[in-house]
Amino acid sequence: MKKFLIAFLVFTAVLTGGSADEAAFSVITNNFGARNYAPGAIPKADLDKIVSAGARAPSAGNRQPWRFIVVSTSALVKKVFRDAPDGNAVVIVLARQTGRDAAFDCALATENIYLAAQALGYGSRIYVGPLNDINGGLRNELGISREFNAVAAVRVGRLPLGVDAASSASSREPESGLITYK
């Protein structure tokens, strides 16, 4: 009986591990930048998870040259994205201005945030378009110190029904021309 129980536990662990890996892989390969969003708030607990995925990114020398601003106040979100429906949030990624490799490190943090949002079932899209406004006119309101500059804004929101990678992702170049094996 004891042997059967151990075998059952190992079998379950392997099964669970396998499906978790596949789910993670699917989020990475099926990512897409959502253009349209449905209204509806994102619970604070989910925003916490999404931004903390950014703070878990690897960085050169583990210097972690970033800060994050989570904007969920509707009026302020609309100053970044005028067409944002209620409930959209924006995670702004700030890079330390003097940091070596800071832009590269912050790109990794940005990707983590973008993918974490999709792993939780939300739509997300990375933007550099609003950076002039964020680092300029909105800088004081967002409380960005002189040491840091925004390098990306990740919009997060609820997806309209039926919108997924199959219906929304842009095409990619054929991999045969991109990858060589030696």
Ligand X SMILES: Cc1cc2nc3c(=O)[nH]c(=O)nc-3n(C[C@H](O)[C@H](O)[C@H](O)COP(=O)(O)O)c2cc1C
Where along the sequence are the contacts to ligand X (CB under 6 A)?
A: 32-33, 125-129, 168-170
The minimum distance between CB 38 and ligand X, in angstroms, equals 17
**Pairing of β 123-127 and β 148-157:** antiparallel
Q: How far is the CB of 67 from ligand X (least distance, A)?
A: 18
* Closest distance of CB 33 from ligand X, Å: 3
**How far is it, in rounded angstroms, from Cα 182 to Cα 161?**
44
We find the least distance from the C-beta atom of residue 53 to ligand X, in angstroms, to be 16
Q: Give dist(CA 113, CA 164) in Å, integer.
A: 18
Inter-CA distances, 71 with 1, 44, 135, 178, Å: 55, 11, 15, 37
Nearer to ligand X by C-beta: 76 or 131?
Answer: 131
Nearer to ligand X, 108 or 127 (CB): 127
| Residue number, 142 or 151, with CB nearest to ligand X | 151
DSSP state, residue 170? P
Residue nearer to ligand X on the CB measure, 13 or 28: 28
Alpha-carbon gap, residue 55 to 81, rounded angstroms: 24
Report, in Å, the least distance between residue 19 CB and ligand X.
25
Q: Which is nearer to ligand X, 41 or 107 (CB)?
A: 107
CB atoms within 10 A of CB 54: 24
The residue count for the chain: 182
127 closest CA partner among 157, 153, 94, 109 = 153
